[in-house]
Structure 1
Amino acid sequence: MSATVFPMIPAASKSVWFFGIICLLLVGLLFLMGWLAWSMQHAQFTVSKDGLRLEGDLWGRTIPLKSLKLDEAVVTNLNIDRDHQPKWRTMGTGLPGYAAGWFKLRNGTKALVYVTDRTHVARIPTTDGYTVMLSVAEPQALIDALKRFNHH
């Protein structure tokens, strides 16, 4: 006598839809992670008459020159300047060697951070109640460029 096969009743279409939605979410997450990885390597900061333009990831924006407290802007080394070290990420990306987005600093203030090298940071307070902190090869040159545009 040969074996008799009894197939299972096929799953309802909602099970297939659920699987499809999960797959779409995973593909979307994969694209988001790829875009974040790309933006970590391609962030840039542009100084112009319009202000300071932060380009890179979700937190990019243009900050008008009038909102920057350039007389209080300084170059800092976050390995030494403990008060201004990002402590809590409130909305952003925090990976080893990369911090971007909104953070609460050790001193309790709020900051918009784009930091990859903690030893070369331009720290620029704003009139809007937060500080901008940017890692650039020449932080003083960034601050000086902002001051030049501000005086025109």
Structure 2
Amino acid sequence: MSSTVFPMIPAASKSLWFFAIISLVLLAGVVLMIWLAWSMRHATFTVSNEGLRLQGDLYGRLIPLQSLKLDEAVVTNLNTDRGHQPKWRTMGTGLPGYAAGWFKLRNGEKALLYVTDRTHVARIPTTEGYTVMLSVADPTALIEELSRQQKALK
């Protein structure tokens, strides 16, 4: 018994471009996830005469000292301070044990968070219409250093 093979006409190059684009999008997603995982563990908050520099992920920035309302800054525990607990993530990363980016708080305020430990949070209002909330080992020392730098600026 004899057989004859009839090959299919090869797909147009459009199909290959489709797979290439999808592969690039997936690769970019993987790279973004790796970078976010790295930045979660390496975020820093630097106090200088320029202001408070938040370095870590997409939401890092320099907040000028003049924009910080340090007389209203407090150390808080988000487990008991219900009014300042994040309610809605508007643009950020929200994972168990890690919140970074823009959030709406239960009291309606807008806040920029870098929170990993809800029990050690420096809550610093700004004149820009939002509050900064940062998890640091010694939130009191952060607020005191910001106050010292702000007084030296005047």
TM bracket, shorter-chain basis = over 0.9
Q: AA paired with 1:135? A: S
In structure 2, the partner of 1:124 is: 124
Separation in 2, partners of 1:37, 1:113: 16
Question: Could you say what secondary structure the match of 1:53 adopts?
Answer: strand
In structure 2, the partner of 1:94 is: 94
Separation in 2, partners of 1:24, 1:151: 50
Q: 1:35 offset after TM fit, Å?
A: 0.3
> Which 5+ residue runs of structure 2 have no aligned equivalent?
none
Query: Among the aligned pairs, what percent are the same residue?
Result: 78
Q: AA paired with 2:5? A: V
> Which 5+ residue runs of structure 1 have no aligned equivalent?
none
In structure 1, the partner of 2:55 is: 55
Deviation sequence 1:106-141 (CA, Å, 0-9, x none): 001100000000000000000010000000000000
In structure 2, the partner of 1:147 is: 147
TM-score (norm 1): 0.98
> Cα RMSD over matched residues?
0.6
In structure 2, the partner of 1:20 is: 20
In structure 1, the partner of 2:42 is: 42
Structure 1 residue runs of 4 or more that deviate by more than 4 Å after TM superposition: none
Separation in 1, partners of 2:12, 2:83: 58
In structure 1, the partner of 2:107 is: 107
Q: 1:4 offset after TM fit, Å?
A: 1.9
Deviation sequence 1:40-97 (CA, Å, 0-9, x none): 0000000000000000000000000000000000000000001000110000101111
